[in-house]
Amino acid sequence: MPAVYHPLTEEEAVQYVRSRLPGFFFPDAQLFSREIGDGNLNLVFRVLDASTKRSLIVKQALPYARVVGESWPLTLDRARIESEALKIEGELVPGRVPRVYHDDPELALTVMEDCSDHIILRKGLIARKRYPHLAEHMAEFLARTLFFTSDLYLSPEETKARVRQFINPETCKIAEDLAFSHPHYDADTNSFNPLIRRDVEAIWKDDALRREVAVLKERFMTCGQALVHGDLHTGSIMVTEQDTKVIDPEFAYYGPMGFDIGALLANLFLSYASHEGLTEDPDERRSYRRWLLQTAEDVWNGFLERFYRLWDEHVKDAMWSAPGYREGYALRLLQDSAGFAGCKMMRRVIGLAPVADLETIEPLEVRAAAERQALRIGVQLVLRRGQMRRIEDITALVRREGEGECG
Ligand code: SR1
Ligand code: MG
């Protein structure tokens, strides 16, 4: 097989792992390969030896956005970013990301642990499943990856070397456009339920909102606080009842910590809004929503507790130890997280790449009610983020804005 870049076929994925990871499968194993990618950007092959049940994943970047086609070209460097970020995250939070077995910059691919015994968290949330360890695992993931890749822990020289390593202009541009710009005007990429056009047009005309989103966009573009995952929605998290794995860090770059925390919160709140349409029984809906908001609170509170502990144990710079600085830092982080969560909620209703939580709701009238809720919550999170002092202020806002239409 030529080492020059070309998208692999299922058969080539088998040949590849046989030749590059000769010890992984028995030489005479009969291997099955299937392309299972259902994301927006890449090819994902699962290679399986059915007799031993041993398997792995070959993830290969395409030179364009799969969700749009060849008219949206992308460089392949995101495959390098993903495998390097996975290795760093794996060292900082062992077991919380798939193990990397091999990477190949020429073919823009990473061979990694198969987590197919887990399901995508988004699917679990749509089915109203509860995950008792999710909040704790995500709090740990966020606290350790964000703290240990920031200037709070690394020397200024180390941080700057990392910033250079993770320059990721193309995926940043995707977020800049899709999360912070396109939802706020009549962009060609937008795609939304026609029944919410008036609500969307109100957002386009809201100057105060546009101003605040612009502030958040600037923060996304200029605040290199830590190595962020960059796309930490519930489609980038895989779960079982006991375990949690964070996948897909191809959007990783040095950005604001609140972008990752906000992404997770946004997706819990999108799920909250979606159950307006997904769950008919009002008691079940109420009870599941309670769990979602409790999870959001536990993620933040668990994160903060760990982050403070790491701060006390590891921060060396005397300036970072100035009285009250730590608490001020955490407050800015909470308010950033609220703002980024708001932007992300609006984009998933108005823009390209919607979320299945809302997209699967039928009929359109019922979907519209859930989408309006998501928009209201998103708008208010952006506008009122400066008033948030504790995570409970954020969940109270979600409850209040959700109440307009829930039973
Ligand atoms: C063109 S890529 C669309 C979206 O998919 C990824 O998961 C990111 O969220 C991106 O914005
Ligand atoms: Mg992804």
Is the same domain home to 329 and 383?
Answer: yes
Residue 5 domain flag: no
CATH of the domain at 315: 3.90.1200.10
Does any ligand 1 atom lie closer than 6 A to the CB of residue 134? no
Same-domain status, 36 and 55: yes
What string of DSSP letters covers 269-290? HHHHHHHHHH---HHHHHHHHH
Convert the pLDDT of each residue in 3-45 to its tens digit. 799 999 999 999 999 999 999 999 999 999 999 998 889 999 9
Strand partners, 244: 239
Q: What is the distance between the alpha carbons of residues 243 and 241, in angstroms, rounded to a whole number?
A: 6
337 and 380 in a single domain? The answer is: yes
Measure 234 CA to ligand 1 centroid, in angstroms: 12
CA of 198 to the centre of ligand 2 (A): 30
Ligand nearest to the CA of 172: 1
Q: Does a structural domain hold residue 4?
A: no
Atom of ligand 1 nearest to the CA of 178: 11
Could you give the CA distance from residue 324 to residue 332 in angstroms, rounded to a whole number? 12
Q: What angle do CA 152, 330, 164 make, to 5 degrees?
A: 40
H/E stretch holding 70 reads strand 69-73
CATH number of the structural domain spanning residue 105:
3.30.200.20
Same domain for 144 and 56 = no
CA of 189 to the centre of ligand 1 (A): 12
Q: Are residues 265 and 138 both part of a single domain?
A: yes
pLDDT single digits (tens) 65-116: 988 899 989 999 999 999 999 999 999 999 999 999 999 999 999 999 999 9
Q: Are residues 90 and 125 in the same domain?
A: no
Instruction: Tell the residue nearest (CA) to atom 9 of ligand 1.
Output: 231
Task: Using the CB atoms, write b or e for 347-366: b if 16+ within 10 Å.
Answer: bbbbbbbbbbbbeebeeeee
Place of tokens 């940043």: 172
Look up residue 372 and give its two tokens: 């309006």
From 68, 98, 113, the end of a domain falls on 113
pLDDT of residue 407: 36
CA angle at residue 158 from 155 to 161, to 5 degrees? 150
- Name the residue of 41, 180, 232, 344 whose CB sits within 8 Å of the most ligand 1 atoms, as the mutation to test its pocket: 41
pLDDT digits (tens, 9 = 90+) for 290-328: 999 999 999 999 999 999 999 999 998 999 999 999 999
Question: Is the peptide bond prior to 354 cis by the omega test (within 30 degrees of 0)?
Answer: no
Does residue 342 belong to any structural domain of this protein? yes
Q: Does residue 146 sit in the same domain as residue 245?
A: yes
DSSP per-residue letters across 173-187: HHHIIIIIIGGGTT-
Residues constituting the chain: 407
Q: Is the dihedral of CA 147, 153, 158, 159 positive or negative?
A: positive
Total domain count, the chain: 2
Q: What pLDDT, on a 0 to 100 scale, did the predictor assign at position 406?
A: 40
Nearest atom, ligand 1, residue 179 CA = 11
Instruction: Name the closest ligand to CA 248.
Output: 2
Q: Could you give the percent of the chain with pLDDT greater than 90? A: 95
Instruction: Please work out whether the CB of residue 189 comes within 6 Å of at least one atom of ligand 1.
Output: no
Parent domain of 77: 10-113
Decide: helix, strand or coil at residue 81: helix
Residue closest by Cα to atom 4 of ligand 1: 353
Q: Is residue 214 part of a domain?
A: yes
Give the mean pLDDT of the chain: 97
At residue 388, the 3 state secondary structure works out as: coil
Residues 73 and 125 in one domain: no
Same domain, 60 and 208: no
Which contiguous run of DSSP H or E holds residue 221? Answer: helix 207-222
Residue 406 is assigned to a structural domain of this protein: no
Helix (H) or strand (E) holding 233: none
| Final residue before a domain boundary, out of 113, 130, 151 | 113
- The whole-number pLDDT of residue 3 equals 76
Of 97, 113, 129, the last residue of a domain is 113
Atom 3 (ligand 1): residue with closest C-alpha? Answer: 353
**218 and 144: one domain?**
yes
Q: Determine the pLDDT at residue 404.
A: 60
Mark whether 312 and 253 lie in a shared domain: yes
